[in-house]
Structure 1
């Protein structure tokens, strides 16, 4: 109980829970659209935004050079998501090539910009793999606000967004603004990545968005229930991962993902065994 009174632990738990709840909401839509790896690509672009924020903070003479890292990440991630969605919706033949350029160019640009700001590539490690133990109260409240936006839009527009991600032609025939809603999903993904990168890092952020959804899909076939269960699983994974790292010296982001993957393997194995048992009984 004494640990819960520690401000550092409080910040870690709050940041972890809000990210764990918000990330699977967007992940549910990405899985429905078969774009589970979109988060990886946007994360690479967001990394360049982090470095650009570092450079801007350095040029502006801020005491903390990373003061503009989060705004930079948001701007770059949203811009990258908008470009990817625009090309996807237009069916550009070379869209996958351009996305690859954005992805890998993001990391390369990030390393160059962080060097130009007087830092080193090691300054990016906290964003690459997560550094939840370094979050400030300002980081926490920004995360809470952005997560609130994700939850409000992701749940509030659930029916319209599901219609678009499930069957765009039907959604268009129903009079829904398909292009706008597709862009909403892309922007939500960008915001989710920037919120999550301090918890699990840009290299692992897709896992927090997708793994809870994959587990939930093994438990139910309903879209709404999948999203709600995934939100609960995401929160549970982050809480368990953070709780363990309070006693064991492990990297929280990586541990959260490993626990999630292990949970998926257990649930998938159990579900497969049940199906075989039912098949034997039926035969």
Structure 2
């Protein structure tokens, strides 16, 4: 098994996929705790569908670098979704559902009416599930992902205290002088960046699993915000590494394999949390 992995890792695209997978998993886990606590767990799925629609538009207009369309549209949608609250006519979960379904339908319609290749179904499958895009990465894609990941990690560390206060009680944070809208904007931008770079790993349908499962797993065992965040990051990186290695050895889809690893870890941590609760009682 190890000799086979050694042979595979001599290939540049395998090394690129492993590096990008680890970076994306790390970034995705950082704000997963915040989204779960703010009850926006489904926002990753909604934004990924928005990115899917934006990618379809970029393909139709013939852009060689679709980031010029995908990134701005996803960021704007993230800002709009996080601004929805109890004082709006359309609540947050309804807004996510509307944008998610609408963008997915719009993108699929465009890809069917203006196909960029003879295999439309294959293009849609690749975009939704990330089945082949992760193995077509180039060195410049790795550097691009590394730079964005560094920005995300540094932004989270630098604004950690403010993100913590905004996550638990926006009203109290506002009363203490925190500019809640500014930090919600920062959170929205970071989430959008994570979604866009994460789609190359698991596709638009599975990216929310990378964001939510590690946070939920960590919450089964740990209680403090810092402990949950650190544990979530470690679990996310571990599951991404295991998922990529298993997909190489078993010839399974990378994205789906990583998500299955996340689900298995969630089950294990749920059992651990249950045993700990039983011992305390």
Q: Could you state the TM-score of these two structures normalised by the residue count of structure 1?
A: 0.90
Question: Of 223, 226, 229, which aligns to 1:224?
Answer: 226
**Could you say if the C-alpha distance between residues 202 and 194 of structure 1 is closer, same or farther in structure 2, counting changes exceeding 3 Å?**
same
Partner residue, 1:33: 38
Are 1:84 and 1:99, in contact at CA under 8 Å, matched by a contact in 2? yes
The 8 Å contact of residues 17 and 238 in structure 1, kept in 2 or not, is answered as yes
After TM superposition, the structure 1 = structure 2 runs for residues 1-283 of structure 1, keeping only pairs within 5 Å, are 1-57=6-62, 67-88=64-85, 91-95=87-91, 96-119=93-116, 120-130=120-130, 131-279=133-281
Deviates more, 1:104-113 or 1:1-10: 1-10
Q: Contact 1:55–1:116 (CA<8 Å) still a contact in 2?
A: no
Q: Is the 8 Å Cα contact of residues 206 and 256 (structure 2) preserved in structure 1?
A: yes
Q: Deviations over 1:24-80 (max 9, x none)?
A: 01112111212111111111111111111112226xxxxxxxx32333221221121
Q: Which runs of 4+ in 1 moved over 4 A?
A: none
Distance 2:136 2:67 in 1: 14
Aligned residues: 270
The CA deviation at 1:144 is 1.3
Give how far 1:226 is off. 1.3
Give per-residue Cα distances to partners, 1:211-238, cap 9 Å, x unaligned.
1111112232121121112111111111
SS, match of residue 245 in structure 1 = helix
Question: Which 5+ residue runs of structure 2 have no aligned equivalent?
Answer: 1-5
Question: Using the alignment, how far apart are the partners of 2:273 and 2:97 within structure 1?
Answer: 36
Cα distance in 1 for residues equivalent to 2:189 and 2:94: 21
State the secondary structure of the residue aligned to 2:65: helix
Q: Does the CA-based 8 Å contact 2:47-2:77 persist in structure 1?
A: yes
TM-score, scaled to structure 2: 0.90
Quote the Cα distance in structure 2 between the aligned partners of 1:223 and 1:208: 18
